[in-house]
């Protein structure tokens, strides 16, 4: 089954929002073993939507539409499809009732134009909207399946999970399945990684291996096709072994993990608490730590010592070190890490100091960054980075290097 995802909405073409629906559905289809060869975004325009449908029909047999099912005049997805495939729009009783219920629940008067949302393609399977008003629908005609979903992700995603997924699965032949696994690497460039596994990439058929670089990280997605799940997993494992033999030392996790998640996991397993002192990263490391529920078990707290005063007065970095080495120095990083660890009575202290940019500092070039690591037993050391990104890239990469160093150091 080859799918095309068509997102309908002028707000997407004006850049007001991202097409996150395209990404969500693509993830779902990848897991279901359905190829997605194109995404199309088209505005609330009858003629252009019609053209997009014709193109999609020429290259896909599953066309999923998101958006344009609402009550307003510019919502025209189902009207355009109905005319295009020659189907009537008929009122759906359950949909109408749930729309009325929706307004009763909020005791607001239902305006007439809301009824329009209960119109569905005649003969289609109706997908209930548990989080909004406009129902979804699925209809197959001349070998092509049309799926219509609402635009708001808060309605579309649960609708697909609860009803859309199964509706499509029932149409799939069960002969072939796809399994995939993402390996995550840090500290090696995309080109460098690819050179090391070049022969694997050239000769790949099943499984396939796809590299992707993002903010200093590289991932490899291994995807296997076979009728049996077990065979898929064997194919993936064989490729994974070969890859890990060559670049295993840069590997840090797989699938939907991240460096910060791995760090929290590692600290939790080892029952180690951490305290953080940040200068150039301005709290980014701590902010990321605390996005993870339960981080409170390992994260004691920290200091954002953005100014020299804060470094000496709050964090207690000795004036001697600042005057002798400057705040952009390994010595300062070490004292920041060890002092913040002590203040919080934590097992581990980590610190970030350096020049994010745009301007140099203490005659040190933009991208000069020092990361300090300090342990309860007094063992304290630092790593130096020389980055060459923008201010924001340097901050983001410093945080990732901090996780990377500490993970390898523990």
Which parts of 263-282 interact with a second copy (CB under 8 A)? 276, 278, 280-282
| Among the residue ranges 138-146, 195-203, 320-328, 376-384, the one whose residues contact a second copy (CB under 8 A) | 195-203
Which is nearer to a second copy, 71 or 125 (by Cβ)?
Answer: 71
Among 97, 228, 257, 291, indicate the residue that binds a second copy (CB under 8 A): 291
- Burial annotation 70-109 (CB, 10 A radius, 16+ → b, else e): bbeeebbbbebbbeeeebebeebeebbebbeebeeeeeee
| Closest to a second copy by CB, 86 or 105 | 105
- Characterise 118 by phi-psi region: left (phi > 0), alpha (psi -120 to 50), beta (else): alpha
Least distance CB 19 / a second copy (angstroms): 6
Of 77-85, 165-173, 319-327, 392-400, the segment contacting a second copy by CB under 8 A is 392-400
| Interaction residues for a second copy, span 86-125 (CB under 8 A) | 102, 105-106, 108, 111-114
Distance of alpha carbon 242 from alpha carbon 60, whole angstroms: 35
What part of residues 55-74 is at the interface with a second copy (CB under 8 A)?
55, 59, 70-74
Candidates 49-57, 83-91, 139-147, 231-239 — which segment interacts with a second copy by CB under 8 A? 49-57
Q: How far apart are the first and last CA of the chain?
A: 47
User: One symbol per residue from 332 to 371: x for binding a second copy (CB under 8 A), - otherwise; what is it?
Assistant: -----------xxx-----------xx-------------
Backbone angles phi, psi at 362, to 5 degrees: 50, 35
The Cα–Cα gap between 275 and 183 comes to: 29
Q: Please, which residue, 125 or 326, has the CB nearer to a second copy?
A: 326
- Cα–Cα distances in Å, from 98 out to 47, 92, 110, 169? 32, 10, 12, 26
Mark residues 15-44: x for contact with a second copy by CB under 8 A, - for none.
xxxxxx-xxxxxxxxx-----xxxxxxxx-
How many whole angstroms separate alpha carbon 107 and alpha carbon 287?
Answer: 40
Q: Is position 289 an interface residue for a second copy (rule: CB under 8 A)?
A: yes
Q: Which of residues 142-171 bind a second copy (CB under 8 A)?
A: 152, 154, 158
8 A C-beta contact, residue 68 and residue 79: no
C-alpha separations of 216 from 49, 53, 76, 278, 395 in Å: 39, 39, 43, 20, 12
Q: Do the Cβ atoms of 37 and 59 come closer than 8 Å? A: yes
If one asks whether residue 183 binds a second copy (CB under 8 A), the answer comes out as no
CB of 334 within 8 A of CB of 377? no
**Does 389 contact a second copy by CB under 8 A?**
yes
Member of 13, 172, 200, 272 binding a second copy (CB under 8 A): 13
Residue 375 CB, shortest distance to a second copy, in Å, is: 19
């Amino acid at each position: 089954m080859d799918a095309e995802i068509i997102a309908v909405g002028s707000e997407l073409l004006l850049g007001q929002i991202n097409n996150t629906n395209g990404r969500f559905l693509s993830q779902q289809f990848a897991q279901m073993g359905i190829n997605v060869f194109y995404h199309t975004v088209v505005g609330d325009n009858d003629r252009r939507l019609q053209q997009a449908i014709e193109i999609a029909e020429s290259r896909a047999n599953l066309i999923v539409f998101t958006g344009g099912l609402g009550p307003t005049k510019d919502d025209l997805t189902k009207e355009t499809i109905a005319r295009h495939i020659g189907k009537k729009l008929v009122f759906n009783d359950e949909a109408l009732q749930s729309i009325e219920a929706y307004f009763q629940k909020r005791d607001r008067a239902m305006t007439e134009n809301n009824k329009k949302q209960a119109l569905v393609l005649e003969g289609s399977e109706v997908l209930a909207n548990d989080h909004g008003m406009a129902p979804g629908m699925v209809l197959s005609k001349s070998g092509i399946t049309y799926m219509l979903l609402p635009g708001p992700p808060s309605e579309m995603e649960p609708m697909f999970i609860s009803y859309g997924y199964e509706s499509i699965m029932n149409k799939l032949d069960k002969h072939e399945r796809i399994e995939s696994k993402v390996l995550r690497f840090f500290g090696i460039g995309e080109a460098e990684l690819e050179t090391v596994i070049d022969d694997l990439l050239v000769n790949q058929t099943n499984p396939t291996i796809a590299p992707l670089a993002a903010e200093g990280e590289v991932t490899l997605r291994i995807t296997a096709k076979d009728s049996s799940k077990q065979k898929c997993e064997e194919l993936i494992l064989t490729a994974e072994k070969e890859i890990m033999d060559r670049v295993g030392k840069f590997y840090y996790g797989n699938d939907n993990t991240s460096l910060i998640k791995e760090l929290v996991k590692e600290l939790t397993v080892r029952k180690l608490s951490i305290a953080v002192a940040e200068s150039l990263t301005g709290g980014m490391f701590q902010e990321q730590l605390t996005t993870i529920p339960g981080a409170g078990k390992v994260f004691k707290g920290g200091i954002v010592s953005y100014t020299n005063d804060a470094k000496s007065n709050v964090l207690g970095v000795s004036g001697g070190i600042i005057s002798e080495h400057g705040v952009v120095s390994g010595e300062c990083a070490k004292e920041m890490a060890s002092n913040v660890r002590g203040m919080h009575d934590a097992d581990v202290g980590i610190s970030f100091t350096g020049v994010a940019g745009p301007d140099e500092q203490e005659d040190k070039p933009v991208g000069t960054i020092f990361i300090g690591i300090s342990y309860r037993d007094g063992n304290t050391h630092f790593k130096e980075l020389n980055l060459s990104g923008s201010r924001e890239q340097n901050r983001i990469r410093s945080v990732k290097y901090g996780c990377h160093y500490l993970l390898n150091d523990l």
